[in-house]
Amino acid sequence: MGKSSATLVVLLAVTLVAAGSVSAVPDSLLCPFELGYNPSFSADGSKLFCSKGQEIFQVDDAGILARSLRGIGTSAQAIVNSFITGDLSVFVRLADPAVEIALPDGPHPLDADVVAFIQDTFTFPPGVDSTAVLQVSDYHFLSNDDPRTATVHVKVFAAEYTIEYDTLWLFNLVNGTRVWQLKRTYNPSLEPN
């Protein structure tokens, strides 16, 4: 194939993609499987959906929703792991500086009451796998105009309690890196096991 023929093939391929005649197949790895979401495709294979139980969402072309859910899940997992190990420095790094934590007696900033609550409530058997004690669900962007703010329901299975919260997360710049930081917890539920 000559140089002009190769150029023609490339131009034709670019034109077909731009015109929508050839579409890219969404990557099923965009679904955050590590959080329990499974990929499925539309009948024609052009749309990717992530589902977990009754919850399902369509992955947009850029994968923003799925990527942000994975990022929030990673931050939530790191926070739970910091509770398991007792190294709360990770929690402090992944909490917005103005974080508000809902305790049974009302909202608190990150203070001694919150630390005492964490140490008393978030206890785990030795050697527990942090991925086995965390569930996230009901994920939404707070505003379709700003994909840097999202809500997610968090459920943690501790040794003595099942703890549930609705949470608000912000995609913040921390030490030169973008991470999902916990901004607020609300609607707490603390059930003895």
Q: What local confidence, expressed as pLDDT, does residue 2 receive? A: 54
Q: What local confidence, expressed as pLDDT, does residue 7 receive? A: 47
Stretches where the chain sits below pLDDT 50 are: 5-22
Residue 141 CB contacts under 8 Å (≥ 6 apart), including other chains: 65, 68, 147, 149, 150
- Report the alpha-carbon distance of residue 55 to residue 32 in Å, rounded: 13
Identify the H or E element spanning 76: helix 64-85
Position 17 in a domain: no
Position 150 in a domain: yes
Q: What local confidence, expressed as pLDDT, does residue 21 receive? A: 42
- Report the alpha-carbon distance of residue 99 to residue 168 in Å, rounded: 10
Of 81, 20, 74, 34, residue with least CA distance to 182:
74
Residue with tokens 């959906």: 49
Q: How many domains does the chain have?
A: 1
Position 28 in a domain: no
Are 95 and 172 contacting, i.e. CB atoms less than 8 angstroms apart? Answer: no
Position 38 in a domain: no
Nearest 5 degrees, angle CA 64-CA 68-CA 70?
A: 120
- Report the alpha-carbon distance of residue 94 to residue 90 in Å, rounded: 6
Position 36 in a domain: no
Position 131 in a domain: yes
Q: What local confidence, expressed as pLDDT, does residue 14 receive? A: 44
Position 57 in a domain: no
Are 134 and 156 contacting, i.e. CB atoms less than 8 angstroms apart? Answer: yes
Digit-coded pLDDT (tens) for 45-83: 999 999 998 889 899 888 888 899 999 999 999 999 999
DSSP state letters, 3-70: HHHHHHHHHHHHHHHHHTSS-PPPPGGGS-GGGT-EEEE-TTS--EEEEETTEEEEPPTT-HHHHHHH
Residue with tokens 């997992």: 77
Q: What local confidence, expressed as pLDDT, does residue 60 receive? A: 87
Taking CA atoms, 107 is separated from 32, 104, 111, 116, in Å, by 30, 8, 11, 14
The structure tokens listed for 177 are 């890196």
Range of the domain at 139: 64-192
Position 124 in a domain: yes
- Domain of 178: which CATH number? 3.10.450.50
